[in-house]
Amino acid sequence: MPDPDVIVVGAGAGGLAAAWRLTTQGARVVLLEGGRAYTPSKDYPQSADHYERLAFPYDPEFDRAGRPRYGYGEAQVLPAALDAYRSHDAAHGRLVPGRARRYAQYSHVRGVGGTTLHFQGESHRYHPDALRMRSALGVGVDWPLGFAELERYYDVAEAQLGVAAPASIPERPRSAQPLPAHTLGYASQVLAPAFRSVGTTLVPNSLAVLSVPRAGRPACNYCNSCTQGCPLGDKGSADVAFLPAALATGRLEVRANAQVLLIERGPQGRASGVIYVDAKGAEQVARAEVVLLACGAIETPRLLLNSGGLANGSGQVGRHLTETLLWTSVGLLEERVDAHRGLPIDGSAWTFAIPERRPEGYVGGFRLATSHGMAGLRGPAFYAEFLAPGFGLEHQRRVAEIVGRGVAVSAIGEWLPNSGTYVDLDPSRKDVFGRPVARIHSRLEANELTCLKHMADTVRAILAAAKAEIVSEVTTLDQFMATHVLGTCRLGEDPATSVADPDGFSHEVPNLGFADGSAVPSSGSGDSPSLTISALAIRTADKALARAARGPR
């Protein structure tokens, strides 16, 4: 391919969505991905006898040389008043000793498809009020676009992904008709009355998982293995939903195992291209009129900071990180329900997922979900390792007694940006190329602590109403284990408080754009962000095409 019109760095939910939009609209794109391309039928076939023990074939903690992929800041010390809300399970007791939070891992995947390769397919639209938190509630930030414009791109992204969802969710309005919703699994149907007991209604989740065959892809077979990788192609990971159509144009070249080291800056303060190491270990240069960063909310600021602090004149790169606020309880019902049958997170309840001031003393909201597969209830090995204490014959009898009776309920809440949660460069850790790795700092403020306590109390009330014995609880109260990370190069009108302008391009470097979670200004009230990332990336691709038609600014 001759010099492309656009270089996209990163092949996840945002990068592949942007590449698809650009190529189908006539632009030539080179996509650089630091990870490898996976072959689903070989890399995660889900046919081994021990399939329930298999994780997605990527180590999010260490690289191939055994180096830590990320550094972490100081651990937050938790108040004793929250001791009743710490992670624990029946086999091990408390999972995090002492008072300090533990940095477990940032659950990111480098590869063609990015973290969507092991996501659970959740595809949620933000509530319209999530875009105006500052003006309505005095917290967070207002987005520089309205919900009507975002919804237009939600429609585009959903159509390409193949989202199955209820036709109407009052707390998450929509204009376009989705694919038919998946039916709640039996275990979730059993729990539905318990959700009603706390004043909410469990409905099928909104999922980028096909409920009917579509575009050469099969309907889901309900193997509950989304997080381990989908070998069939029914899950709408970015490599399945966006990549084939982009490649079919003949205008996309994907270079996997291509680690971008820095962004070059040319005349008039514009980005002239990127320097990267190719799959053979040779240093290369790629140049284009437009560069779109789609490395995620941790790696995108790292790349900018490693490029001499590019686009960081106001010191905003890496700030305003929002992450996962999670509570999950596993309970044992009196009857066997075999929750391994179905989808990892098949149901959601949205009543409390509207951003507002809550009488419990926090601002925001949270979504409730049935999360049996996400919690690990995929087979007897999980019961044996985490839910049954003891050893020997007594342990075997307990496993036989409880297997199939487990259910899980989760709550996912709003995380407001704060000064103690951000990304910078680690001064002591470097990758194999000698570049500093990203250092992640995480701090729960009073708002998140109060919200999390309410989340936990509500989940426990649901399981109590179902007469379930709680045997495991895992929470981001005492463990950093983020999957949803956003906001480190957020959109905004004011260059003093944002990195990207309303179109998704740097305030300082006019041909440098953002097509990933780093641009998303807020976390939503329990929403999975992948659909929003794809929608905004498609919008930024449209803005890039419009800018190219007008010529350089």
pLDDT at 176 over 80: yes
For residues 474 and 134, give the distance between their C-alpha atoms in angstroms, rounded to a whole number: 31
The tokens describing 375, both together, are 């919690």
Nearest alpha carbon to residue 119 among 412, 373, 437: 373
pLDDT beyond 60 at 518: yes
Residue 552 has pLDDT above 50, yes or no: no
Query: Which residue bears the tokens 């999360």?
Result: 371
Strand partners, 291: 7, 512
Q: Which of 553, 515, 510 is nearest to 536 (CA)?
A: 515
303 pLDDT tier (thresholds 50, 70, 90): very high
- Kindly tell me if the per-residue pLDDT of 553 is higher than 70: no
Specify the pTM.
0.98
Q: pLDDT of 435-456, one tens digit each? A: 999 999 999 999 999 999 999 9
Question: Tokens 């929003």 — which residue?
Answer: 532
Domain range summary for the chain, segments of one domain joined by +: 1-38+111-162+236-315+486-553
| Structure-token pair, residue 163 | 């989202």
Report the alpha-carbon distance of residue 238 to residue 431 in Å, rounded: 26
456: Cβ contacts below 8 Å, ≥ 6 apart: 85, 327, 329, 411, 473, 475
Query: For 215, which DSSP code?
Result: T
pLDDT for position 102: 98
C-beta neighbour count of 287 within 10 angstroms: 15
pLDDT tens digits, residue range 87-104?
999 999 999 999 999 999
Encode pLDDT of 45-55 as tens digits. Answer: 988 888 888 89
Predicted pLDDT at 551:
54
Distance between CA 313 and CA 21 in Å, rounded?
30
The burial of 291, by beta-carbon neighbours within 10 Å (0-12 exposed, 13-18 middle, 19 or more buried), is given as: buried
Report the pLDDT averaged over residues 301-320. 98
pLDDT (tens digit, 9 = 90+) per residue, 221-237? 999 999 999 999 999 99
Tens of pLDDT, residue by residue over 527-547, are 999 999 999 999 999 999 988
The percentage of residues in the chain with a pLDDT greater than 90, rounded to a whole number, is 95
**Mean predicted confidence (pLDDT) in 118-122:** 97
pLDDT digits (tens, 9 = 90+) for 356-365: 999 999 999 9
Is the domain 1-38+111-162+236-315+486-553 a CATH 3.90.420.10 member?
no
The share of the chain scoring above pLDDT 70, in percent, equals 99
